[in-house]
Structure 1
C-alpha cells in the first residue's frame, strides 16, 4: 500500500479529517490529499515549530498557502481559521497533518491523527 492510501484510509477515511498529509522533516511530502497543496517550506516551518514556537505564533501554521492562527502546542500543534482547523503530530521521521472543516470536532481530528502518528512510531517511522 502506498502512503497515499494510508492518508486516504487512515486519516480522511475516518470521517474526522477533511484533508491529510504525511511529510518528512526535510520538507519532502510523502503523501497528501488532493487540494491540500502543501509546500516543502511550509513543512519545514511546521517541523521547526515543534522546537521553537515563536515563528508559528508570529506567522501561523501555513498549509497550501492558507494561514491558520497558531493556538499552541505540546504533544501536537494546533491552529484555527474560522470554523476550520489543523492538527499536526510529529513522529520519529515525519509529520502527520490533519485539516478539519466545519462540522468536525477538533478532538476527533486530533484523536485520529494521534493514533495514526502512534502507529507510524510503532512501525519505525
Structure 2
C-alpha cells in the first residue's frame, strides 16, 4: 500500500495538509480524547487523504458504530471488523468535479477514520487493519 500511495499521492505527512479524518462532529470530539496516530497522503489541494488510528474502549467503539449508522454511513462486517463508508460527488466553486468520502472501521479496540478527496485506494483500510492484527 505504501508503494502505491507514494506513487499515486505523495508525500506522506505534508505539514500543510489540514484535512480532518472525519466530518462527524460527535466523532471529532471523541478523537480529541483517545490515543491517536495521524497520517496524511498528498499535498494541500484537490487530492489526498487523512487517516487516524485510535485506541477506544468497547463503549466508545459502540458509540462510533451507532454514530455512523445514524449519519447514514453504509456499514458491513468484514471478519471481526465493522467497516463503514460514505461518499459524495459534487462540483467545486471553480467548476471542478470532485468525489470525497469517509471510510471508518472498528475492530477490537482500534478505530480507523479516513477522509479522502479524489482518491480512495482500494483495500487501504483493510491493509491498516491487517497491519494492526500482526
Q: TM-score, normalised by structure 2?
A: 0.44
Instruction: Specify which structure has the higher proportion of helix.
Output: 1
Query: Greater CA radius of gyration, 1 or 2?
Result: 2
